[in-house]
Amino acid sequence: MTRRVIQFSTGNVGRESLRMLIERPDLELVGVHASSPGKVGQDAATLAGLAEPTGVLATDDRDALVALGADCVVFTAQAETRPEEALADLCAFLAAGSDVVSTSFVWLVNPAGADAWLLGPVEDACRAGGSSLYVNGIDPGYSGDTLAYAALGLAGTATKVVVQEIFDYADYDDGDFTGVTFGFGRPADADPVMMALPGVVASVWGGSVRLLADALGVELDEVRDRWENWHTPTRIGCTMMDVPAGGVAAVRFAAEGVVDGEPVIVVEHVNRLTETAAPDWGYPPVGHTGVHRVRVEGHPGIEINSHVGLGDVATTHAGVVSTAARVVNAIDAVCAARPGVLTVDDLPVNLVGRVMS
């Protein structure tokens, strides 16, 4: 069965998902949204870096795309910086009956923990259109659900689960968003970036913590967050940005699910600019610039290291491609699923038992 699909947004992730939609024989690209005037009117193939024209031209007319009645929309807009506008776009498709797979609005990786301002409108739109919404990615997403489920499925008992992304972002050309969001380059006396404010990390990655807690049957007392900066004593120059001496060149943060005062489910990031930054913090295995890792403490004790990007594919770019693939590969399952806001548990079954002790 060929599904008619729309790509909404052509940024870093959107370009990769657009390419996948064009190249897959089981999907028919019928529309592309682009907000940049320089992209409007261009063929989808050009925006995806492909040579053979598709005849599908990018438009900034959302209503015209909604009217196409696509089976599914791949929604990769940068919603976190413009939530009200992006939410209106998302709900327009859902209310019209198109299913949506999305890397945006990461709070909905686990909708049970999402705030009412977001969850209410999308639930209403799904009911109105009889449609489904699935939000996922590589992190938040894969590392805290599928990878963690794989590790937990090998454990007889578990006392603690730690999910980590440890990535060198030096070659990631995204200083305007990732660099600013993480606070790279800022001096030690600067005010904290928004993501470092109390409760923000827990709101973004806490959904993954609670998803694992629910899968394991663990009742958490709280989900708390922590944040650390590392300041470079010397200038660091890299693709992401130039960091002056004294500027932030690495961050370590986590959302922690706590029982009796102890963290038992932890989702942690260690992100640095060049391998010389934060030398006392964790590193990927030798030969890799990034890892998504799950460590289960218990019996027998499990550690799984997962890497994207082989050969000459940079790890950071591979992470972008895999984020796109995470939702494109879910299109069939989401279109076949019940209406409503879905989690990974609503798609093919996982094998996690209640192993937490």
Query: In this predicted model, what pLDDT tens digit does every residue of 10-41 receive, in sequence order?
Result: 999 999 999 999 999 999 999 999 999 999 99
Q: Are residues 132 and 152 in the same domain?
A: no
Q: Are residues 98 and 240 in the same domain?
A: no
What's the pLDDT tens digit per position in 257-315?
A: 999 999 999 999 999 999 999 999 999 999 999 999 999 999 999 999 999 998 888 99
Hey, what are 147's tokens?
């990878």
What's the pLDDT tens digit per position in 119-174?
A: 999 999 999 999 999 999 999 999 999 999 999 999 999 999 999 999 999 999 99
Q: Are residues 210 and 281 in the same domain?
A: yes
Q: Are residues 169 and 258 in the same domain?
A: yes
Q: What is the mean pLDDT of residues 316-343?
A: 95
Nearest-5° Cα angle at 165, 139 to 294: 95
Q: How many helices (H) and strands (E) does the chain have?
A: 10, 15
- pTM attached to this predicted model: 0.94
Domain assignment present for residue 357? The answer is no
> Is the pLDDT confidence value at 352 over 70?
no
Q: Are residues 170 and 304 in the same domain?
A: yes
Q: Are residues 110 and 201 in the same domain?
A: no
Q: Are residues 173 and 25 in the same domain?
A: no
What does 103-153 look like in DSSP terms, one character per residue?
A: SS-GGGGSGGGS-HHHHHHHHHHHHHHT-EEEE--BTTBGGGTHHHHHHHT
Q: What is the mean pLDDT of residues 187-216?
A: 94
**Position 106, amino acid:** V
What residues make up the domain containing 339?
Answer: 3-136+330-346
Confidence at residue 349, expressed as pLDDT on a 0 to 100 scale: 56
Hey, what are 328's tokens?
């494109």
Q: How confident is the model at residue 354 (pLDDT cuts 50, 70, 90)?
A: very low
Q: What is the mean pLDDT of residues 174-190?
A: 94
Domain assignment present for residue 334? The answer is yes
Confidence at residue 78, expressed as pLDDT on a 0 to 100 scale: 87
Q: Are residues 154 and 72 in the same domain?
A: no
In whole angstroms, give the CA distance from residue 55 to residue 125: 31
Q: How confident is the model at residue 245 (pLDDT cuts 50, 70, 90)?
A: very high
Q: Are residues 130 and 146 in the same domain?
A: no
Instruction: Say which residues have a Cβ less than 8 Å from residue 230's Cβ, sequence separation at least 6.
Output: 248, 249, 250, 251, 252, 272, 277, 278, 281
Query: In total, how many domains does the chain have?
Result: 2
Confidence at residue 312, expressed as pLDDT on a 0 to 100 scale: 85
Confidence at residue 204, expressed as pLDDT on a 0 to 100 scale: 92
Domain assignment present for residue 41? The answer is yes
